[in-house]
């Protein structure tokens, strides 16, 4: 019986496989899947079984999920195909006899007004009706900001549309560690964890943290949602994704990406990585 991690070539999937290994799961008990197994060959070299799985190709899933005990279903990247893809993966997990499926949903998937939330909520509902399950409602990634540090430093400003909304962002590594915990410990069936960092921040505060870390004066420029979307398009973000990201900022301005649940800290058994630590790590 194995722990199966989907999307193992992606950022979060990769970190989750690493977290499982760090937590002492034998490599032989982990199955990592990807649409292209050449991208996860490094895991095979370390004894992890790699299998091809494409949720758009249901025929690929029985062999991919064979022998699964617990499955981590990482939400896929294409919003328009997401629900159908996730349903096919869940159907295959049912057939394979999974004892638990953990799904990487999004913060407040049940009440969120973002354009991102309906696909996550629909997946949660479909999954809950079919299998023992746990929802990992991941908040925003800190990397969404730290990856932009070169541009922010060049421009002297952090641009967004989140007003003074509080954002409980955390690193992918912390979310991945939480996933590893629910896959390796008991008592998670039926839970929906609202996962976010211990130190919520406004974008004004984040700009101040970047200033403190770099010694450069960085401000926060708050734009109307449509203008922010245009700025993102101008920076090379595809128009559809720019709308999604600007809409997420709109929701952030209403604290929709804030949580004070403490679920992430409790699951991983330590404080979450702070924004200042993530900025310092990205600058190294
Ligand atoms: N919380 C946030 O701030 C935030 C930000 C961005 C995204 N997300 C969500 O979190 C997920 C994981 O984040 P990430 O950073 O790891 O994303 P990522 O690096 O882009 O990885 C996404 C993964 O989705 C998998 N995928 C796409 N289509 C698939 C399909 N048809 N069948 C099976 N797998 C498919 C890909 O797997 P293969 O290519 O290996 O098949 C890829 O590894 C994203 O997919 C997205 O839903 C959250």
Q: 100-106 and 157-160 as β-strands: parallel, antiparallel, unpaired?
A: unpaired
The answer to whether position 131 is within a domain reads yes
pLDDT at 168: 98
Percent of the chain beyond pLDDT 90?
Answer: 99
* Mean per-residue pLDDT of the chain: 97
Residue 146: CB within 6 Å of ligand 1? no
Residue 17 inside a domain? The answer is: yes
- The total number of structural domains in the chain stands at 1
Residue 157 to residue 20: CA distance in whole angstroms: 38
Q: Answer whether residue 52 is part of any domain.
A: yes
The secondary structure element, H or E, covering residue 51 is strand 49-52
pLDDT value of residue 99: 98
Q: Measured between alpha carbons, how far is 200 from 268 in angstroms, rounded to an integer?
A: 18
Task: Please write the tens of the pLDDT for every residue from 36-65.
Answer: 999 999 999 999 999 999 999 999 999 999
Read off the pLDDT of residues 159-217 as tens digits, 9 standing for 90 and up. Answer: 999 999 999 999 999 999 999 999 999 999 999 999 999 999 999 999 999 999 999 99
- C-alpha 219 – ligand 1 centre gap (Å): 31
Q: Is 144 in the pocket of ligand 1 (CB under 6 A)?
A: yes
Residue 44 domain flag:
yes
Give the position, in ligand 1's atom list, of the atom nearest the Cα of 34. Answer: 40
Contact 82, 119 (CB under 8 A): yes
Q: Is 22 exposed, middle or buried (0-12, 13-18, 19+ CB in 10 A)?
A: exposed
Residue 237 lies in a domain: no
| 65 touches ligand 1 (CB under 6 Å) | no
Query: Is it the case that residue 1 has pLDDT exceeding 80?
Result: no
CA distance 251 to 163: 10
Residue 108's domain is classified under what CATH number? 3.40.50.720
Q: Which structural domain range is residue 73 located in?
A: 2-137+172-195+260-270
The CA-atom distances, in angstroms, between 183 and each of 23, 47, 99, 162, 195 are 11, 19, 11, 34, 16
Establish if 122 belongs to a structural domain. yes
Ligand 1 center to residue 76 CA distance, Å?
4
Instruction: Quote the pLDDT of residue 246.
Output: 98
Nearest atom within ligand 1 for CA of residue 13: 16
Cβ neighbours of residue 23 closer than 8 Å, sequence gap 6 or more: 180, 181, 184
The mean pLDDT of 251-260, rounded to a whole number, is: 98
Residue nearest to atom 29 of ligand 1 (CA): 76
Which atom of ligand 1 lies closest to the CA of 138?
Answer: 1
Q: Is the CB of 140 under 6 A from ligand 1?
A: yes
State pLDDT tens for residues 122-164: 999 999 999 999 999 999 999 999 999 999 999 999 999 999 9
| Domain-located, residue 86 | yes
Percent of the chain with pLDDT over 70: 100
Nearest CA to ligand 1 atom 11: 75
Helix (H, G, I), strand (E, B) or coil at 72: strand
Considering the entire predicted model, what is its pTM? 0.98
**Dihedral sign (CA 88, 89, 94, 95):** positive
> So what's the pLDDT on residue 15?
98
The mean per-residue pLDDT over the stretch 27-31 comes to: 98
* pLDDT, tens only, 79-111: 889 999 999 999 999 999 999 999 999 999 999
- C-beta 85 within 6 A of ligand 1: yes
pLDDT at 80: 87
Residue 274 gets which letter from DSSP?
A: P
Ligand 1: does its nearest atom lie under 6 Å from the Cβ of 138?
Answer: yes
| Ligand 1 atom closest to the CA of 35, numbered from 1 | 41
128 CB within 6 A, ligand 1:
no
Nearest CA to ligand 1 atom 26: 76
* Residues written for the chain: 284
Residue 250 maps to a domain:
no
pLDDT of residue 104: 98
């Amino acid at each position: 019986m194995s722990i199966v991690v989907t999307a193992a070539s992606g950022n979060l999937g990769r970190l989750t496989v690493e977290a499982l290994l760090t937590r002492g799961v034998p490599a032989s008990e982990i199955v990592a899947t990807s649409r292209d197994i050449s991208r996860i060959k490094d895991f095979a070299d370390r004894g992890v079984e790699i299998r091809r799985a494409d949720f758009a190709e249901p025929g690929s899933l029985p062999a991919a999920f064979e022998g699964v005990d617990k499955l981590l279903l990482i939400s896929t990247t294409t919003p328009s195909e997401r629900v159908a893809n996730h349903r096919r993966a869940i159907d295959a997990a049912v057939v394979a006899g999974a004892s638990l499926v953990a799904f990487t949903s999004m913060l407040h998937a049940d009440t969120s007004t973002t354009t991102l939330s309906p696909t996550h909520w629909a997946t949660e509902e479909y999954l809950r009706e079919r299998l023992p399950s746990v929802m990992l409602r991941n908040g925003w990634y800190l990397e969404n900001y730290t990856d932009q540090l070169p541009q922010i430093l060049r421009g002297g400003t952090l641009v967004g549309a989140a007003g003074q909304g509080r954002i409980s962002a955390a690193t992918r590594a912390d979310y991945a560690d939480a996933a590893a915990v629910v896959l390796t410990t008991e008592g998670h069936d039926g839970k929906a964890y609202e996962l976010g960092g211990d130190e919520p921040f406004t974008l004004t505060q984040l700009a101040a943290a970047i200033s403190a870390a770099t010694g450069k004066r960085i401000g926060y420029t708050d734009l109307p949602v449509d203008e922010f979307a245009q700025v993102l398009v101008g920076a090379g973000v595809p128009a559809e994704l720019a709308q999604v990201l600007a809409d997420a900022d709109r929701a952030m301005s209403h604290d929709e990406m804030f949580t004070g649940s403490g679920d992430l800290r409790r699951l991983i058994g330590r404080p979450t990585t702070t924004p200042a630590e993530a900025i310092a790590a990205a600058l190294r």
